[in-house]
Amino acid sequence: MIAEAGLAALWLAAALSLLQLCAGASALRTGGDQLLPMIRPIAIAQGVLAALSFFLLIQLFLATDLSVKLVAANSHSAKPWLYKFAGAWGNHEGSMLLWVTVLAMAGAAVAWLERRLPERTLIATLAAQAAIALGFYAFLLFASNPFERLNPAPADGNGLNPLLQDPGLAFHPPTLYLGYVGISVAFSFAVGALVTRDVGPLFARAMRPWVLGAWVFLTLGITAGSYWAYYELGWGGWWFWDPVENASLMPWLAATALLHSVTVLATRGGLRAWTIMLAVIAFSMSMVGTFLVRSGILTSVHSFAVDPSRGLFILILLGLYIGGALTLFALRVGTIREGSTFEPVSREGALVANNLLLSAILGIVLIGTLYPLGLEAATGDKLSVGEPYFNAAAGPLALALIAIMAAGPLLKWRRDRLKELARRIWLPIGLTTAALIGLLLLAPGIGLLPLLGLTLALGTAAASLAPLWKRNLRRTPLFTWGMVIAHLGIAVSIAGMASESAFTKETLVAARLGETVNVGPYAIRFDGIEPLAGPNWTAIEARLVASRGGGSSLTMTPQARVFSSPQTETSEADIATLPGGQLYTVLGREDEQGRWQLRLWWKPFVTLIWLGGGMIALGGLLSLIGRLRRGRRPKAEEVYA
């Protein structure tokens, strides 16, 4: 019954999205219609129905209803509760349902909360959101039905990929999707504004909170995904330049550029066409990413099934929506009023540089991700594009971008002078130089990119705090705090990345019981090994006692696990966060002489990577709150930080 109700809710939501699209289109054409007051409630009802359908799917997974094909294929009655719950989106159909639910709920949120957008633009926006939803409802209903029944029901399910059986599954996909799919609102806003030709500062102020909100979730989702990969895969790496990771990075780069250009539009009325274009690109990147991950052309833990017809379906939707939006853009771009001009040396000028650099990095990541796929399709040659490529191509641009990020907030809007900037930025530049000299003397040979990363991170951290200099901190607007914290977060994260790549120490040995192994400043004694059983796995656990310079010791217990359904071995690294870094231990296999493989890392300041990511998201959240508060007091609009 629950499965049928879920399917019915999904069909109803799809029907409502069609109604929402038609009602919106007819209201826009006739310029006034009795359908008009209906559109907001329709959008809200559509969001509620999609959410209901998703909720019912979770119910099926919690009850392990094996007569539903999806549950039988991806769940198991012996799985812990959390993974039954989160397992609902740990498969192709469930994750697409989550995708569509976020899309529908984003539309519902716009219908419910958006008050600043002119009525006609809002209707066009909701119609655009409905058009996107309609295509993806069709994809679910015709090519990826999560509620399909199985007759007869099997005795038990196949279980969930053990790599996904982790609390990360409950957090990473939903947050990532809230950002990844939430950015669809910016796309729909852009389409709405193109339809009504109403692009200006007011439009930008209405769009900014939605962009900020999606961006905060996207940042959190990527940060969480990176940490999950770091501790779960047992390689000690935190970013692999895997196409599925790039699929989330590309919308983030575009959304970050959009976030900054929308500020120029809101404050100075400039970058109109460009902002619209970025809004279209940001969600287009999300759709490209969805295609890459969900079509099955890539093989990874993220792609659950290989089915060419699904890939083609998403590709057609992709072409339809991106092509449609770009065509509309091309037709209407001439009628968008030109914004005011600006000086190169000004806040706007720095933001334009930021946008150009972010777009160039986006282009490099896009080429690095798509080129191998295109080459393989065309010639059959397989090419793997990894870290060396991205570091060589995107690294220099990223460093330039960080330098601009340090200087930009110290520039005034409208017009500034380089001499004035130099007066404000001498301290960060001095710090950068001192750090450069210090590192060259103390730690030669750490590599150019880590060296520049560390020094620039220090200078940027100092520069990002500079906007608070000599200000009354209690009267500083919340969105200025947000900017400061987010920029500081970037510096913190870069410092972590550079430190990890420059100073990591690794030891790989086959050790006997009682043997002591050194890694970095730690001595690690192999104390014991014993079997262990969990709810749906058994394991062998090593007991390692780590101590630093004869001081107090801590016990670490990496495991080699064997899951029963499906039968899979995984390695559970044990990671200890210590002052100054993380100790990362992995247990391998036993050899014929009774020695155990141990892989140990000492990673100084690696935690800064994700701490920085959290700070970036927090900065975005503070900005969002600040903007919403300011938005309620329209009189204060003239005062800009």
Partner 1 sequence: MKAKHQRLTLLILAIAAVLAAVLLAMSAIRDQASFFYAPADIVRKGLPLDKAVRIGGMVEEGSVRLAGDGVTMDFIVGDETDATIPVRYKGIVPDLFKEGSGVVAEGRFQPGGLFVADEILAKHDENYMPPKLAGERHKTESLK
**Interaction site with partner 1 (CB under 8 A):** 161, 163, 233-235, 240, 242, 274, 299-301, 303, 306, 338-342, 352, 356-357, 359-361, 363-364, 367-368, 371-372, 381-386, 388-389, 392-393, 397, 508-510, 566, 568-571, 586, 588-589, 591-593, 595, 597, 599
In angstroms, what is the minimal distance from the CB of 429 to partner 1? 25
- Helix or strand holding residue 555 (H, E): strand 553-556
Q: Please tell me the distance from the alpha carbon of residue 596 to that of residue 513, in angstroms, as a whole number.
A: 8
Q: Which is nearer to partner 1, 54 or 227 (CB)?
A: 227
Question: Are the C-beta atoms of 252 and 219 separated by less than 8 Å?
Answer: yes
Q: How many residues does the chain have?
A: 641
Q: Which is nearer to partner 1, 381 or 469 (CB)?
A: 381
Report in angstroms how near the CB of residue 455 gets to partner 1 at its nearest: 23
Q: Which is nearer to partner 1, 302 or 487 (CB)?
A: 302
- The minimum distance between CB 368 and partner 1, in angstroms, equals 6
The distance of closest approach from Cβ of residue 90 to partner 1 in the complex, given in angstroms and rounded to an integer, is 12
State the DSSP string of 246-315: HHHHHHHHHHHHHHHHHHHHHHHS--HHHHHHHHHHHHHHHHHHHHHHHSSSS-STT-----HHHHHHHH
Q: How far is the CB of 583 from partner 1 (least distance, A)?
A: 16
User: What is the C-alpha to C-alpha distance for residues 345 and 414, in angstroms, rounded to an integer?
Assistant: 8
| Closer residue to partner 1, CB minimum distance, 39 or 511 | 511
| CA angle (196, 199, 205) in 5-degree steps | 120
AA letter at 493: S
Q: How far is the CB of 492 from partner 1 (least distance, A)?
A: 27
Q: Specify the pairing of strand 553-556 against strand 568-572.
A: unpaired
Q: Which is nearer to partner 1, 189 or 342 (CB)?
A: 342
Looking at beta carbons only, is 161 or 432 nearer to partner 1? 161
Minimal distance in Å, beta carbon 169 to partner 1? 14
Nearest to partner 1 of 450, 588 (CB atom): 588
Nearer Cβ to partner 1 (33/590): 590
- Which residue, 66 or 560, has its beta carbon nearer to partner 1? 560
Rounded to a whole number of angstroms, the minimum distance from the CB of residue 218 to partner 1 is 22
Q: How far is CA 476 from CA 167, 210, 481, 517, in A?
A: 38, 23, 7, 52
In angstroms, the CA 140 to CA 50 distance is 12
CB closer to partner 1 out of 205 and 599: 599
158 within 8 A of 324, measured Cβ to Cβ: no
Contact between residue 134 and residue 18 where contact means Cβ atoms under 8 Å apart: yes
Pick between residue 256 and residue 570 the one whose CB is nearest to partner 1: 570
Q: CA-CA distance, 16 to 13, in Å (whole number)?
A: 5
Q: What is the dihedral of CA 226, 228, 230, 235, to 10 degrees?
A: -130
Closer residue to partner 1 (CB): 530 or 591: 591
CB of 389 to partner 1, least distance (A): 4
Q: Which is nearer to partner 1, 112 or 231 (CB)?
A: 231
What is the biggest distance separating any 2 CA atoms in the chain, rounded to whole angstroms?
84
Q: Tell me how far, at minimum, the Cβ of 299 lies from partner 1, in Å.
A: 5
Decide whether 432 or 571 has the Cβ nearer to partner 1.
Answer: 571
- The rounded distance, in Å, linking the Cα atoms of 183 and 198 is 20
In the complex with partner 1, the residue whose CB is nearer, 11 or 235, is 235
Q: How far is the CB of 593 from partner 1 (least distance, A)?
A: 7
The least distance separating partner 1 from the CB of residue 537, rounded to whole angstroms, comes to: 12
Distance CA 540, CA 571 (A): 10
Q: What's the min distance (Å) between Cβ of 513 and partner 1?
A: 13
Sequential DSSP letters for 159-207: ---GGG-STHHHHHHHHHHHHHTTTHHHHHHHHHHHHHT--SHHHHHHH
Q: How far is the CB of 363 from partner 1 (least distance, A)?
A: 4
* Count of CB atoms situated within 10 Å of the CB of 580: 13
User: In terms of C-beta density within 10 A (0-12 exposed, 13-18 middle, 19 or more buried), how is residue 568 classed?
Assistant: middle
- Identify the bridge partners of residue 601 per DSSP, sorted by sequence position: 506, 584
Q: What is the DSSP string of 21-32?
A: HHHHHHHHHHT-
CA distance 620 to 626: 10
Torsion over CA: 419, 425, 427, 431 (sign): negative
The kind and range of the H/E element at 328 are: helix 308-332
Output the smallest distance, CB 141 to partner 1, in A.
Answer: 26
DSSP 142: I
* Smallest distance, partner 1 to C-beta of residue 341, A: 5
Sheet holding 505-511, edge to edge: 505-511, 596-604, 581-590, 574-578
Tokens matching residue 131:
């058009």
Cβ closest to partner 1, residue 323 vs residue 566 = 566
Q: What's the CA gap between 544 and 553, in Å, rounded?
A: 10
